[in-house]
Structures are given as structure tokens and as C-alpha cells.
């Protein structure tokens, strides 16, 4: 394959796996590690990947927003660890918001069932999953349902949220960067998330390392608006420290 085909292959593999390794790519493609490093440098210049020591991970952008189904097949082990660690921050919260997305669904699954809890969510899947629990009071936000994520948006959802005071919000994003904060491709989704940020006493961001360094079309929060960031250990410790300097506690699990 020529250089353009090779870089396309690398980018496709990175998006499917969540990251790529220089040495493995070099061996699989039959080229020198220096060639792979040059490919990754070019992809980084184009804003498509973010380099790490020994490899790279993809940067999600608006035109590459993934479906809920595809998210449930990538980095699942890491997402389950993140979800479990995020729920440990529940504390004495009596009301929580669960965002749309696959990692938030895993957080919902990990919520304790031994005590009463009010759960507000835009996710149809999460609402259906928790509704049968005798200790859960589930409030599903109204509005238009997005087919890609099966979550509600628009003014019905934001109007409902405006009337709440939520103890703890578990939020996700398509991208989180020190330069642009927390972002998502769809303005309607961003409006819901921004309203959540406004009414929540505490906010935990939960997301895998591939979210970091990425930015999408709509900004809904600054990094400093988040109390805690929970991610996986593939985010370099040095990068986690840079985020922590903006305010939040950053946990790599």
C-alpha cells in the first residue's frame, strides 16, 4: 500500500481499537518504526490523532460521531473500570443525573440499589434499565429523541432540567481538551449538557483516554467546571497532571 493508504489504515485501526502501537504497526505493515512515527505525526498535524509515548489514539471530531452501538464494542473493559470508579464518588447524593452514552449506561448499572436514589436522565436505555428498581425514582427528560444515541434533547429537556437542583451529575463528552473544554458535535445535545452543568452541585466527567485532546463543534463546559475526571491509565500521567492544574481531581483507573 502507498503512504496515503497506510495512513488511512492506521487511522481506521486507531478508531476501531482505541489506540495503536508504533512497533506493532511497523511489524504488521512491514515498514520501519520511523515511517510509522512520521505517519502519526502527519495525522496529528491534521487533528486526527494524538501522539503518546510509543503510539497514538484517535481524536473524535463532529464528522466522526460514533453510534451508541459502536461505542459499546470499544474499550469496554476500560469503560467498566471507569464507571465503577465514578460511582465511588456518589457519596451521600440523593439525586443524580446520568448522561447519554455508553459509559454513562455502565455508571447507571453500577449505581447502588440498597438505598433510595432519584435518577434524572435523557437516555431512554438508562431510564428503561433503572425503572424496575424498587429503590430508584427515575425521571426521563422529555423532548426529541436522537436516533444515534436514543436520548432526548431540545427545549422540553432543558426546561425540565431548569427546575431541578441535582446533587451529582455524571457527564460525558465527545471531546475534552485543555484549550476548548468539554465539547460535543450537536448543539441540541450541548444545550442539555450545559443546563446540567448549571443545576448540578457536583459534576464527574467519565470518559476513556481517546476523548482527551479532542474537540467538537459545541462547547458546553470548561475543564474547571468539573469536580472530578475519571479516565483510564492510557492517558499519560503527565497529561492528567496538566488537566488537574485547571481544577479537577483526575483519576486514572
pLDDT 10s digits, 30-76: 999 999 999 999 998 877 888 888 999 887 553 455 666 656 667 89
- What lies within 8 Å, CB to CB, of 152 at 6+ separation is 122, 124, 140, 141, 142, 143, 144, 145, 146, 192
Cell numbers for 197, please give them: 452543568
Rounded CA-CA distance 31/136 in Å is 55
Please list the alpha-helical segments (H only) found in 144-230: 155-162, 187-199
Rounded CA-CA distance 187/195 in Å is 12
pLDDT at residue 153, as a whole number: 98
| 32 three-class SS | coil
Given the DSSP bridges, would you call strands 95-98 and 166-171 parallel, antiparallel or unpaired? parallel
Domain locations in the chain as residue ranges:
3-58, 68-252
Nearest Cα to Cα of residue 185 among 64, 17, 42, 73: 64
Assigned CATH for 68-252? 3.40.50.1360
Nearest Cα to Cα of residue 111 among 90, 82, 142, 129: 90
Rounded CA-CA distance 204/93 in Å is 13
pTM of the entire predicted model: 0.79
What CATH class is the domain 3-58? mainly alpha
- How many other C-beta atoms lie within 10 A of the C-beta of residue 39? 25
pLDDT at residue 67, as a whole number: 62
Regions of the chain with pLDDT less than 50 = 62-63
Rounded CA-CA distance 10/7 in Å is 5
pLDDT at residue 137, as a whole number: 98
pLDDT at residue 63, as a whole number: 43
Amino acid at each position: 500500500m502507498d503512504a496515503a493508504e497506510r495512513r488511512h489504515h492506521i487511522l481506521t485501526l486507531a478508531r476501531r481499537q482505541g489506540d495503536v502501537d508504533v512497533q506493532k504497526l511497523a511489524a504488521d505493515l512491514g515498514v520501519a518504526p520511523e515511517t510509522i512515527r512520521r505517519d502519526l505525526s502527519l495525522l496529528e498535524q491534521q487533528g486526527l490523532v494524538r501522539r503518546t509515548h510509543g503510539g497514538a489514539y484517535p481524536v473524535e471530531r463532529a464528522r466522526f460521531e460514533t453510534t451508541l452501538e459502536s461505542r459499546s464494542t470499544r474499550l469496554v473493559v476500560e469503560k467498566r473500570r471507569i464507571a465503577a470508579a465514578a460511582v465511588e464518588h456518589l457519596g451521600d447524593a440523593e439525586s443524580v443525573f446520568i448522561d447519554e452514552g455508553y459509559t454513562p449506561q455502565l455508571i447507571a448499572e453500577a449505581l447502588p440499589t440498597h438505598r433510595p436514589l432519584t435518577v434524572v436522565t435523557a437516555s431512554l436505555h438508562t431510564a428503561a434499565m433503572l425503572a424496575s428498581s424498587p429503590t430508584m425514582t427515575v425521571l426521563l427528560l422529555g423532548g426529541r429523541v436522537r436516533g444515534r444515541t436514543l436520548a432526548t434533547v431540545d427545549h422540553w429537556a432543558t426546561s425540565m432540567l431548569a427546575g431541578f437542583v441535582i446533587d451529582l451529575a455524571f457527564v460525558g463528552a465527545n471531546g475534552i481538551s485543555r484549550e476548548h473544554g468539554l465539547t460535543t458535535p450537536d448543539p441540541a445535545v450541548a444545550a442539555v449538557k450545559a443546563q446540567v452543568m448549571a443545576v448540578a452541585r457536583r459534576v464527574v466527567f467519565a470518559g476513556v483516554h481517546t476523548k482527551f485532546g479532542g474537540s467538537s463543534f459545541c462547547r458546553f463546559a470548561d475543564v474547571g467546571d468539573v469536580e472530578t475526571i475519571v479516565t483510564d491509565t492510557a492517558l499519560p500521567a503527565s497529561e492528567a497532571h496538566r488537566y488537574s492544574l485547571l481544577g479537577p481531581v483526575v483519576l486514572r483507573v
